[in-house]
Structure 1
Amino acid sequence: MSALLPVADTAQVRRYARDLFRRNPRVLGITVGLHALAALAGLVGPRLLGELVESIQHGRGTGTIDRLAGFIAGFVVLQAVLIRFAYLASARLGERVLAGLREEFVERVLALPLSTVERAGSGDLLTRTTRDVDALSRCVRLAVPETMIAMIVGILVVGATIAVSPVLALPLLVAVPILVFGTRWYLKRAPEGYLKQNATYSMITDGLAETVEGARTVDALRRRRQRIDRTDTDLRRSYLAEKYTLFLRTVWFPMVELSWVLPVVATLLVGGALYLRGTVTLGQLTAAVIYAQMLVDPVDRLLSWVDELQIGGASLARLLGVAEGETEP
């Protein structure tokens, strides 16, 4: 069995990822700004809807109601336009970052000493140049922009809830312990699990490549059974590695899914009790419940892409590790 190429450590991966995005400060600033404006435009609607409810409750004229409805529709259209350009900017940023990463990876591969390549075998290098590059491509194009968008929207939604009523923002904290505990448990185990999973893919590719390249020798020496056993062993290792990462997801996802419902229910119950006591208005309660519901999407998006980020991080560590090989004497 060929020796696998080195893998970069976590500190190297984080430092390199930060440097990649810092190389495009202007595009990054435009992207973040557009997403922030789109999120702000989306936060105006629930606040105006709360005022609309109060207008109906207090029997204000139809002119006021029509005006509020028109403003709500206008901000919905504005948000749609801003989201369109924000996603376009995210795509451009992702393509620029990915292009730079690919160029640097090709330079690293071509700079490898021939002895290192021969010792590692073609399977590991082939897997890193195909499967790992594809996984990292998906991460840079989709996971990173989506995560950034979710963080911006989530922060702004929490801020809007506090602006409506600080008391009604407290029920949002009910989901924090579940999210923190579950995510810390997952992140403690996921990086190593995905690195091992990717390494098993390299072993499979390496074994198949050796079998194909030495097919005549295998037939001449009657080594078919040994090559089949090698492939079965590699597949078994890959199955166990994927089974472990699947186990992590089946434990983590139900925990975070449970936390989606709790803030909405808690806000409704606490807000309803406060409204009956006259502490908050019906408009504030309406806006707070809608904001709690709006918080589900960014948090769901953020945590859903965390798994993809772990896969991308493992792939990036393997790509950066190519340059860690021994230098030619």
Structure 2
Amino acid sequence: MSAVIGMAPPEYDPAAPRSAATLPVGTAATVRAYVTELLRRHRTAFAVLIAVNAVAVIASMAGPYLLGSLVDRLAEGARDLHLPGAVAVFMVALAVQTVFVRLVRLRGAMLGEEMLADLREDFLVRAVGLPPGVLERAGTGDLLSRITTDIDRLANAMREAVPQLAIGVVWAGLLIAGLAVTAPPLALAVLVAAPLLIAGCRWYFKRAPSAYRSEAAGYAAVAAVLAETVDAGRTVEAHRLGARRIALSDRRVKEWTSWERYTLFLRSVLFPVIALTHTTVLAAVLMIGGVFVLKGWMGVGQLTTGALLAQMLVDPVGVILRWYDELQVAQVSLARLVGVREIEPDAGDAAVRPDGRDVRADDVRFGYREGVDVLHRVSMDVAPGTRLALVGPSGAGKSTLGRLLAGIYAPRAGRVTLGGAELSRMPAERVREHVALVNQEHHVFVGSLRDNLLLARAGATDVELWAALGAVDADGWARALDDGLGTEVGSGGLALSPAQAQQIALARLVLADPHTLVLDEATSLLDPRAARHLERSLARVLEGRTVVAIAHRLHTAHDADVIAVVEGGRITELGSHDDLVAADGAYAALWRSWHG
């Protein structure tokens, strides 16, 4: 997972953390490009939001202008102030402001939800389009924190921060413009506070991004430790690692909270600076305006209007800085989400097409870490229609070899080909048309049993779905369900047993109808008798297909055409069951120990 995040030093000037997360964090250029793309998609909604907000702000300025006019008329000694007309205009302006402020909130909320929906969809589409094996190797805590914590943080920003920031900028711009039209000297008075605000913001925003990035990475580290400890709970108990895991969790939490305190310190400096800026603006307007009134260069009404408009600037400036600060947190989460865009998509070479069904591994090397190979110069040929069994001790490399033959991983050296075409050069979708992998982990999606099966072939009829279930001996319990194929399964629905989930995965395999299959302990969750019965049923479905079966149950190997014994990342024996038993080697020893 990510590297250890150090605590903030006493002078509160920490550097950004070093991270070793598998999934990258997007660069500033990637984030800007995505934000630009998002704004382009919703440019009409943004234009409507700004227009509606402009009307609301202009209506809000009617009160100061009317009050300033009344003060000027009183200063000139006028007796008829036309109060009914002024009150009528004010009430109309107030009604317009009320209606359009409501529209601003509504339009802002709608725009935020639309952008948030786009972000979620973009992340999901990009994530599932990553090269096979990338997400499999991603750290659990890092991946979970991106799709939970980062999405939650962005939800608030997308719903409120982006629309409110746009509203605040338009609001402040129109007020300053109104101040410049009413009393130009007072507009210059606003600039008196600019140096203080700029200095405070530069100090804050120079430190905030790296601090929030470190805070997010610290949380990911906490999530990783907790997830690991829970997942490996039995191992922790068996080896008495509880105290060590608790100490590691405490350290990660302490490091994370140190960054939380540091970001709180940054805000505790920024907010007083903002409050002092507001006071400075109003004081400058009153003092400069007062001098101009005494000199006769400005009317009392102009000063009144200017002072009110200057006071109204407090709200938009506060909105801008508040939501810009919120965007600092959101920017880090956004960078983590759009980081997947920096991973090259598995486009493959559309021109590469297999010419035949033979599978071949030629001098293949592969490792999960740089410089550490799991497979060492593995070569083998699997003729079309062959049933190949990979056997050997745990950790020998059987599943890794199976994933290479299924096109999930690309070899570090050597070639894995299907019909003479390199699997690593073919688009993932094309690989899946020819080769399918069914492993020990099966997922039941929330939805009906029918929807779970249609994932393999969207156009399949109910008759074909029942036939697929029958092929894997699952039609018995499926027909016993109250709603049959329409029964809701998964989280919140009918809880299926691991064995039933495995049968659904195998039924999907029947529906997908690939010519080459890689079965990695595909019946491991069934009891031996049921597994044997299912495999006999599957044998009819698999007739004529190329099957690579990875199993510890040696009856699978007994039924195979060819058996490959994998030891230490190498194929040490290759042949039929009878030949290998007669050779009295590693396979024969495994057979005797298993069969008695």
TM-score (norm 1): 0.95
1:150-199 alpha-carbon deviations (Å, 9 max, x no partner):
10010111111110121121211111001111111111111111111001
* Match runs of 1:119-268 below 5 Å: 119-268=137-286
- Of stretches 114-123 and 311-320 in structure 1, the one that deviates more from structure 2 is 114-123
1:102 maps to a residue whose letter is R
Is the partner of 1:265 in helix, strand or coil? Answer: helix
* Corresponding residue for residue 277 of structure 1: 295
Q: How many correspondences in the alignment?
A: 329
Given that 2:26 and 2:335 are in contact with CA atoms closer than 8 Å, whether structure 1 keeps it comes out as yes
* Corresponding residue for residue 15 of structure 1: 33
Given that 1:55 and 1:65 are in contact with CA atoms closer than 8 Å, whether structure 2 keeps it comes out as no
Structure 1 unaligned runs (5+)?
A: none
* Corresponding residue for residue 321 of structure 1: 339
CA distance in 2, matches of 1:113, 1:243: 39
Is the partner of 2:61 in helix, strand or coil? Answer: helix
CA distance in 1, matches of 2:341, 2:243: 36
* Corresponding residue for residue 43 of structure 1: 61
Is the partner of 2:24 in helix, strand or coil? Answer: coil
Q: Measure how far apart 1:71 and its partner are.
A: 1.1
2:337 maps to a residue whose letter is L
CA distance in 2, matches of 1:94, 1:262: 34
1:259 maps to a residue whose letter is T
1:215 maps to a residue whose letter is G
Given that 1:49 and 1:72 are in contact with CA atoms closer than 8 Å, whether structure 2 keeps it comes out as no
CA RMSD after TM alignment: 1.6
Q: Measure how far apart 1:82 and its partner are.
A: 1.0
1:37-60 alpha-carbon deviations (Å, 9 max, x no partner):
111111222111100122233343
Q: Measure how far apart 1:238 and its partner are.
A: 0.1
- Of stretches 31-40 and 317-326 in structure 1, the one that deviates more from structure 2 is 317-326
Q: Measure how far apart 1:141 and its partner are.
A: 0.6
- Of stretches 317-326 and 196-205 in structure 1, the one that deviates more from structure 2 is 317-326
* Corresponding residue for residue 306 of structure 1: 324
CA distance in 2, matches of 1:254, 1:116: 46
CA distance in 1, matches of 2:339, 2:43: 26
2:56 pairs with 1:73:
no
2:287 pairs with 1:287:
no
Given that 1:191 and 1:314 are in contact with CA atoms closer than 8 Å, whether structure 2 keeps it comes out as yes
1:194-214 alpha-carbon deviations (Å, 9 max, x no partner):
111001111111111111111
Structure ranking higher in helix proportion: 1
- Of stretches 48-57 and 33-42 in structure 1, the one that deviates more from structure 2 is 48-57
Structure 2 unaligned runs (5+)?
A: 3-19, 347-408, 411-596
2:126 pairs with 1:108:
yes
Given that 2:73 and 2:81 are in contact with CA atoms closer than 8 Å, whether structure 1 keeps it comes out as no
Is the partner of 1:280 in helix, strand or coil? Answer: coil
Percent identical residues: 42
CA distance in 2, matches of 1:306, 1:26: 23
Is the partner of 1:247 in helix, strand or coil? Answer: helix
Q: Describe the shift of the 1:32–1:100 C-alpha distance in structure 2 as closer, same or farther (beyond 3 A).
A: same
TM-score (norm 2): 0.54
1:322 maps to a residue whose letter is V
Given that 1:179 and 1:259 are in contact with CA atoms closer than 8 Å, whether structure 2 keeps it comes out as yes
In structure 2, which of residues 104, 120, 132 is the aligned counterpart of residue 86 of structure 1? Answer: 104
CA distance in 2, matches of 1:135, 1:177: 31
CA distance in 1, matches of 2:261, 2:132: 35
* Corresponding residue for residue 572 of structure 2: none
Q: Measure how far apart 1:257 and its partner are.
A: 1.6
Given that 2:70 and 2:81 are in contact with CA atoms closer than 8 Å, whether structure 1 keeps it comes out as no
Q: Measure how far apart 1:76 and its partner are.
A: 1.3
Q: Measure how far apart 1:325 and its partner are.
A: 4.4
Q: Measure how far apart 1:262 and its partner are.
A: 0.8
Which is bigger in relative contact order (C-alpha 8 A, separation at least 6)? 1
CA distance in 1, matches of 2:34, 2:233: 41
Q: Measure how far apart 1:108 and its partner are.
A: 2.3
1:94 maps to a residue whose letter is G
Given that 1:112 and 1:323 are in contact with CA atoms closer than 8 Å, whether structure 2 keeps it comes out as no
Q: Measure how far apart 1:252 and its partner are.
A: 1.7
* Corresponding residue for residue 60 of structure 1: 78
Q: Measure how far apart 1:256 and its partner are.
A: 1.7
CA distance in 2, matches of 1:151, 1:120: 40
CA distance in 2, matches of 1:322, 1:298: 35
Given that 1:112 and 1:325 are in contact with CA atoms closer than 8 Å, whether structure 2 keeps it comes out as yes
2:215 maps to a residue whose letter is Q
CA distance in 2, matches of 1:30, 1:284: 32
Q: Measure how far apart 1:123 and its partner are.
A: 1.2
* Corresponding residue for residue 382 of structure 2: none
Q: Measure how far apart 1:63 and its partner are.
A: 5.9
1:236 maps to a residue whose letter is K
Given that 1:56 and 1:65 are in contact with CA atoms closer than 8 Å, whether structure 2 keeps it comes out as no
1:166 maps to a residue whose letter is P
